[in-house]
Structure 1
Amino acid sequence: MKRDTRIVHSGRGGKHAPGMINVPVYHASTIVFDTVAEFRQAVAKRNEQVLYYGRRGTPTQWSLADALTELEGGAGTVLYDSGLSAITGAILAFIETGDHILMPDSVYEPTRSFCDMVLRRLGVETTYYDPMAGAGIADLLRANTRLVFTESPGSLTFEIQDLPAIAAAAHARGALVLNDNTCASPLTYRPLDHGADVVIYSLTKYVVGHSDAMMGAAIANEATLERLRRAGYLYGHSVSPDDAYLALRGLRTLATRLERQAETALTLAHWFKQREEVDRVLHPALPDCPGHDIWKRDFTGSTSLFSIVLKNDSDAAMAAMLDGYEHFAIGFSYGGYESLVLPSNPSGVRTATSWSGPLIRFHAGLEAAADLVEDLEKGFERFNAA
C-alpha cells in the first residue's frame, strides 16, 4: 500500500475493535482475572498486547502504537507523554555512567539541556558535532561512544544530515543511531530505512495535528526494541487513552493536511526569497539550504516549516512586524492547522559550529496562501517603518 492508504488503515481492524472504524477510548488501571491460571497467563505475556495493568496499555494505545510501527517499518513502538519524554526515554534506554554520546549542534534545545544538565550529572559525556559532518562523524567516535543522535532537518536551522553515512560509521564502531524525525514527519522520511536504530517523534506536532494533546513515540528496529520497551516500563512511561485517541484521529488526516501545508510553506519560502529585507531562507527544498542534495536523495517531500534570516536584525523592527500579524500567532510547537511564527537566536547555544544573529521560524497552517502572503506583506510594511 502507498503511505497515504496505510495512514488510513494502519492500526485498525478486528484486532483491537472488531467492526468499528475507530477504536474506542479504553480507560483502565486495574485489570482483574477470574482465575489464577488467567492471571499467570497474563503475567507471562505482559510484554505483549494483553490486558495486564493499565500502564501496560489498552487497545486504544495499542492501536496507535501498531499504526506508527507499520508506517515506519519498525519492530515495535513505545509511547510517551510528550516528545521530550520520548527523546530522553530513548536516550536513557541505551546509556550508562561512563558512556559518551554524540549530538548534532543544531539539536532541539530541550534535548541539549537534557544532555548538559542531566546526563552530565549522571556521568555521561556529550560531544556536539557539526550536523553536516556526514561520514566525518567517524573521527569523533570513541571506544565508549554508545550512541549518535541525529535530527534532520534541524528544528530551527534546517540542516539535512547524511544519515546513511553517519549510521555506517557509527555501526562500524558498535554505536547505535537515534533519529528525531519530528520535523520531517512520518510522511516525508523513514529513518529506519536509512540506518537509524530508533526513530523518535513528538506526536504533539503533525500526528495530533490540532494543538490539543501532548505525546511522543519511539519506534525501534528488532535489535533495540526489547531494551527500549524495558526502559519505558521501568521509567513508568504511560500515555492517556484520550490523548492516544486524539493522535489516532489526527493521524488519519495527516497526509491531506501535510500536503496542503507543505505546498503553502514552499509558496511562502519562494515569496520570501524575492524580498529585499531577507538575507536567507532556510527551507530544505531550496537549493541553497544546507544538505539540499541529501534531501533530494533521501526525502519524499518537505513539510510546513522553514526559517528566514533578515538583513536588518533590529529587534524593534522585528517585533513590530511580528506583533501585528493577523494569521501568524507567536508560539512554540508546530504541526497544527494554524499558522505560527517563532523568533529565535541559535547563536547562544552553538558550540561546534557558528551561528550569528536571530532568525524567524514560520509554520504554514491551513489558511489560504494568499491571505498569509497579504499578512506577511503588511508585516514588512511595519518592519520598514519601525
Structure 2
Amino acid sequence: MKTDTKIARLGRPHAKDGPVSVNPPVVRASTVLFPDMETYDAAGKEKYTTLRYGRHGTPTAFALADAVAELEGGYRAIVLPSGLAAISATLLAYARPGTHLLVTDNVYGPTRNLCDSYLRELGVDVEYFPPRIGADIAARVRPETVAIYCESPGSATFELEDIPAIASVAAGHGIPLINDNTWATPLLFPSFERGVDISIHAGTKYIVGHSDAMLGIVVCSEATWGTVRNLVGLLGYSTSSDDCYLALRGLRTMALRLERHQANALKVARWLEQRPEVTAVHYPALESHPDHALWKRDFRGASGLFAFTLASDDHAAVVRFADGLRYFGIGSSWGGFESLVTLPHPKREHDALPEGGSLVRLHVGLEDPDDLIADLEAGLTALSK
C-alpha cells in the first residue's frame, strides 16, 4: 500500500467477517472478565498486546499503536498519556546509576530538565553533544554508554542531525539510537529505514492535530520493544481510550494537513527572509538553512514549525511584536490546525546561536498564508514602535 492508503486503512476494522463500524469503537475498560482461569492465565502471557486489564491497554489503544508502528516501519508501538511520558519512560528504560547517556544539545527543554535533574540525581552521567557531530560521535561513546538520544531537527533551533551516520556508530557499539521524531512524524522521516531503534512522538501534536488531546507514542524495533514496554508497565502508565480515538481520527488527515503546513510555512519563511528586521530563518526546508542538503537527503517533507531571529534584542519590543499578532496565538505546544508564536530561550552547551537578536518560534497552521503574513507584518510594525 502507498502511504495515503495506509493512513486511511491502518488501525481500522474491516468487513471481512460481517458489518463493522468505519472507526474502531472507544473501549473504556478497567476490569476485563474471562470465561475461566485457563483463558485468564493465557492472556497474562500477552498482556501488553491483548485485552487483559485496562491499564495495559484497550482495543482502541492497540489499534492506534499498531497503525503508527506499521506506518513508521517499526516492530511495535506503545501509547502513553503524553509526549514527555514517552520520553521519560524510554530514557528510564536504559538509564541506570553509573551509566552514560549521550543526548543532543538541541533537545526539547523538558527532556533536558529530566536529564539535568532526575537522571543526574539518579547517578546517570548525561553528556550533551553538538547536533551536527555526525559520525564523530564515536569518540564520545564509552563502555558504560547505554543509549544515544537525538532530536532532528531540534524543536527550538532546528539543526538537523546526521541520523544514518550516528545510527551506524550506535549499531557498531550495540547501543540503541533513540530519536524524537515529533517534528517530521512517521510520514516525513522514515525512522527505521534511517537506522533508528526507538522513535518517539508527542502524538499531542501532528498525529492528533486538533489541540484537544494529550498523547505520547514510542515505536520500537523488535530488539528494544521488551525493554521499553516492561518499564512502561512497571511505571503504571495508562492512556485514555478517548484520546486514542482522537489520535486515530487525526491520523486519517495527517498527510493532507502536513502538505498544507509545509506550503504555508515555506511561504511565510521566505517572506520573513526578506524582512530587514529578521537576521535568520531557521527552517530546514529553506535553501538557506545550513542543513538543507541533509534534509533533502533524509526527509520526505517539512512540517509547519520553525524559528527565526529578530535583529532586536530589546525584550519589550519583541513582546510588543508577539502581542501585536492576531492570528498567531500565544500558547504552548504546536502541531494543531492553528498558528502559534512563542519566544523560546534554549539552553545550550555547544554551538550556541550568535550573540544578539531574539529567537521567535512559529507554528504555521492551516489558515490562509496571506493572512498570516499580514499578521506578522502588523507585529513587526508594533515591534518598530
Residues 13-64 of structure 1, C-alpha deviations (whole Å, 9 max, x = no match): 2499962210111010011122222222222332332x21011211111110
**Distance verdict in 2 for CA 1:117–1:12, change over 3 Å:** same
Q: Distance in 2 between matches of 1:312 and 1:338?
A: 26
Q: Distance in 2 between matches of 1:70 and 1:337?
A: 25
Distance 2:154 2:178 in 1: 14
Q: CA deviation at 1:316?
A: 1.6
Alignment-derived partner of residue 40 in structure 1? 41
Does structure 1 retain, via aligned residues, the 8 Å contact 2:48–2:57?
no
1:173 alignment counterpart: 173
**Which residue does 2:195 correspond to in 1?**
195
Distance of aligned partners of 1:188 and 1:109 in 2 relative to their CA distance in 1, 3 Å threshold: same
- Match of 1:12, SS? coil
Which residue number corresponds to residue 25 of structure 1?
26
Matching residue of 1:313: 313
Deviation at 1:374, TM superposition (A): 0.9
Q: What is the CA distance between 1:94 and its match in structure 2?
A: 1.9
What is the rounded CA distance, in whole Å, between the counterparts of 2:297 and 2:174 in structure 1?
26
Distance (whole Å) between structure 1 residues aligned to residue 158 and residue 233 of structure 2: 34
* Distance (Å, rounded) in 1 between the aligned partners of 2:19 and 2:62: 14
Deviation by residue 1:127-183 (Cα, 9 ceiling, x = unmatched)? 001000000101111111110000001101110110000011122122210000011
What is the TM-score when the length of structure 1 is the normalising length?
Answer: 0.96
Among 343, 351, 355, which residue is 2:349 paired with?
Answer: 351
Counterpart-to-counterpart distance in 1, 2:42 and 2:289: 55
Q: Which runs of 5+ in 1 are unaligned?
A: none
Distance 1:344 1:292 in 2: 23
Q: Which residue number corresponds to residue 273 of structure 1?
A: 273
SS at structure 2 position matched to 1:118:
helix
Q: 1:16 to 1:166 in 2, by over 3 A?
A: farther
After TM superposition, list the pairs within 5 Å mapping 1:1-386 onto structure 2.
Answer: 1-14=1-14, 19-49=20-50, 51-346=51-346, 349-355=347-353, 356-357=355-356, 358-385=358-385
Q: 1:102/1:17 Cα in 2 relative to 1: closer, same or farther (>3 Å)?
A: farther
Q: Give yes or no for contact 2:49–2:62 (8 Å, CA) kept in 1.
A: no
Q: Relative to structure 1, is the Cα distance of residues 196 and 16 closer, same or farther in structure 2, using a 3 angstrom cutoff?
A: farther
SS in 2 for 1:210: coil
Q: 1:116, 1:379 → 2: CA distance?
A: 36
Deviation at 1:345, TM superposition (A): 2.2
In structure 2, do the counterparts of structure 1 residues 271 and 298 end up closer, same or farther at CA, with 3 Å as the change threshold?
same
Distance 1:16 1:212, change over 3 A: farther
The percent of aligned pairs where both chains have the same amino acid is 47
Q: CA deviation at 1:226?
A: 1.2
CA contact (8 A) 2:189 2:298 kept: yes
AA paired with 1:351? E
Alignment-mate amino acid for residue 24 of structure 2: V
Q: What is the root-mean-square deviation in Å for CA atoms of aligned residues?
A: 1.5
C-alpha contact (below 8 Å) 2:95/2:119 kept by paired residues = no
Q: CA shift at 1:363, angstroms?
A: 0.6
Letter in 1 for 2:25: P
Return closer, same or farther for 1:80/1:157 CA change in 2, 3 Å cut-off: same
Shift of 1:352: 2.6
Q: Per-residue deviation at 1:354?
A: 2.0
Kindly indicate whether the alpha-carbon contact (under 8 Å) linking 2:60 and 2:245 is maintained by their aligned counterparts in 1: yes
Matched residue of 2:222: which SS?
coil
AA partner of residue 44 (structure 1): K
* Matched position secondary structure for 2:90: helix
Q: Distance in 2 between matches of 1:210 and 1:138?
A: 40
> In the TM superposition, what whole-angstrom CA distance separates every residue of 1:97-120 from its partner, at most 9, and x where no partner exists?
111011111000100010010111
CA contact (8 A) 1:17 1:24 kept: no
**1:81: how far off?**
0.6
Cα distance per residue 1:180-210 (max 9 Å; x no partner): 0011122210111111100000000000111
Q: For residue 228 of structure 1, give the secondary structure of its aligned residue in structure 2.
A: helix
Q: 1:322 to 1:197 in 2, by over 3 A?
A: same
Letter in 1 for 2:74: G
Aligned amino acid, residue 41 of structure 1: A
The count of aligned residue pairs is 382
> Are the structure 2 counterparts of residues 85 and 171 from structure 1 closer, same or farther at C-alpha, using a change threshold of 3 Å?
same
SS in 2 for 1:11: coil
Report if the CA contact (8 A) 2:317-2:383 is conserved: yes
Unaligned runs of 5+ in 2: none
1:18–1:144 CA distance, 2 compared to 1 (3 A)? farther
Question: Aligned with 2:343: secondary structure?
Answer: strand
